[in-house]
Amino acid sequence: MNEWILKYMDYLKYEKRYSEHTLLNYERDVKEWFSFCQREGINEFEFDYSDVRSYLNDCYTHQLSRSTMSRKLSSLRSYYQFLLKEKQVKQNPFLIMKGPKKAGTLPQFLYEEELQALFDSIDQTSILGCRNYALLELLYGTGIRVSECCQMKQSQLNVELGTVLIHGKGGKDRYVPIGEFAVEAIEAYLQRSRPQLLKKSNLETDVLFLNHLGTPLTERGVRDILSRMTNQTAKHIKVAPHMIRHTFATHLLNNGADLRSVQELLGHENLSSTQIYTHVSKEHLRQAYALAHPRARKDRK
């Protein structure tokens, strides 16, 4: 791998604390840009705005989604800012390039009965089931990112105060409260399940969640766990890890939490990132109105 890509990835991992999933995407984006440069005879350290336009046109011909295009631009903008800081390039043409506007899709979330179906599908008497229950309780009870959950150490938990210290994006820390259900599930996991898992690897690690081999649970591992859970539910709901975070925010707003508090809990830098959940909350109200009001729909008799 290119020396500067390696340095860039280390910068994203250790200084920016980007998730495993984001790191893979950013690395792929930079490598694909390098491949394009090689095909077109472009020097990746000396290029201009027109070369960036050519690359975007090439991406459009492959019918990439708006969100993928936006992420690619963000990856490359960030990469060349890093090189600029390290004095490896003289300019960053990606800075003046605006990406496509994202489609106004609302985040998907689970209704309370769907979430309960996930909890009910877990066998808490088994070692892995006990861990999975604690994992789901923590994700839903705090709304933390999966990357934050996988990196969490036992020392970040204070079960007596009911708080957890989160090491967030960009090196920003925040304290998040955890409810009684999550505390109870985590204590059960720490007493009954984690010691048994740790024996399988003989590792000395403070990482909270371990996999079946006794090593730290990865983001991919969390995705697999949630996928297996959903297959066991009668509803067969498809659940991605970030949906639990969306569910946390939506349920808080639906039950009267104010937007600023939700922003703080989620660790959003800008309020605009949190405001999308108010649209979901309004949709929830519209559905409740349509179902309950006698004159909401003409087809009701």
Q: What is the largest CA-CA distance in the chain?
A: 72
- Domain check: are 81 and 140 in the same one? no
Residue range(s) defining the domain that contains residue 52: 3-96
* Alpha-carbon distances, residue 163 vs 156, 175, 182, 183 (angstroms): 9, 6, 11, 9
Phi, psi dihedrals of residue 295, rounded to the nearest 5°: -115, 25
Q: Quick one: average pLDDT of 165-177?
A: 85
- Domain check: are 197 and 259 in the same one? yes
- Domain check: are 131 and 280 in the same one? yes
Q: What is the pLDDT of residues 11-38, one digit of tens each?
A: 998 888 888 888 999 999 999 999 999 9
Lowest mean pLDDT among 21-25, 84-88, 234-238, 249-253: 234-238
- Give the domain-ending residue among 72, 96, 120: 96
- Domain check: are 87 and 116 in the same one? no
The active-site residue, picked from 17, 223, 268, 284, is 268
- Give the domain-ending residue among 66, 96, 126: 96
Structure tokens at 17: 């604390």
Is residue 299 a part of any domain in this protein?
no
Position 102 scores a pLDDT of 59
Query: What is the CATH number for 189?
Result: 1.10.443.10
Q: Is 11 a catalytic residue?
A: no
Is residue 278 a part of any domain in this protein?
yes
Split at pLDDT 50, 70, 90, the class of 297 is: low
Whole-angstrom Cα distance, residue 43 to residue 208?
45
Asked if residue 234 has pLDDT above 60, the reply is: no
- Give the domain-ending residue among 96, 120, 139: 96
Q: How many domains does the chain have?
A: 2
The active-site residue, picked from 145, 194, 246, 251, is 145
Lowest mean pLDDT among 89-98, 133-142, 220-229, 274-283: 274-283
Q: Is 279 a catalytic residue?
A: no
Whole-angstrom Cα distance, residue 166 to residue 7?
25
The active-site residue, picked from 13, 169, 200, 284, is 169
Whole-angstrom Cα distance, residue 106 to residue 161?
34
- Domain check: are 207 and 174 in the same one? yes
- Domain check: are 128 and 220 in the same one? yes
- Domain check: are 67 and 131 in the same one? no
Split at pLDDT 50, 70, 90, the class of 199 is: very high
Asked if residue 225 has pLDDT above 90, the reply is: yes
Position 152 scores a pLDDT of 94
For 104-142, what is the HEC assignment? CCCCCCCCHHHHHHHHHCCCCCCHHHHHHHHHHHHHHHH
Is residue 137 a part of any domain in this protein?
yes
Query: What is the CATH number for 79?
Result: 1.10.150.130
- Domain check: are 215 and 278 in the same one? yes
What's the chain's average pLDDT? 85
Whole-angstrom Cα distance, residue 179 to residue 141?
6
- Domain check: are 203 and 285 in the same one? yes
Q: How far apart are the two ends of the chain, measured CA to CA in Å?
A: 67
Q: Is 245 a catalytic residue?
A: yes
Position 17 scores a pLDDT of 82
- Domain check: are 148 and 190 in the same one? yes
- Domain check: are 116 and 91 in the same one? no
Position 81 scores a pLDDT of 94
Decide: 165 and 153 in contact? Cβ < 8 Å: no
Is residue 301 a part of any domain in this protein?
no
Is residue 106 a part of any domain in this protein?
no
The active-site residue, picked from 8, 79, 140, 277, is 277
- Domain check: are 133 and 217 in the same one? yes
Split at pLDDT 50, 70, 90, the class of 60 is: confident
The partner residues of 43 in beta bridges, in order of sequence, read 46
Is residue 172 a part of any domain in this protein?
yes
Is residue 77 a part of any domain in this protein?
yes
Split at pLDDT 50, 70, 90, the class of 58 is: confident
Position 100 scores a pLDDT of 64
Is residue 105 a part of any domain in this protein?
no
Structure tokens at 167: 């090491």
The active-site residue, picked from 77, 131, 194, 245, is 245
Q: Which residue has the tokens 């960009």?
A: 170
Position 294 scores a pLDDT of 64
3-class DSSP assignment, residue 90: coil
Please name the helix (run of DSSP H) or strand (run of DSSP E) that holds residue 283, with its range, or none.
helix 271-292
Position 257 scores a pLDDT of 81
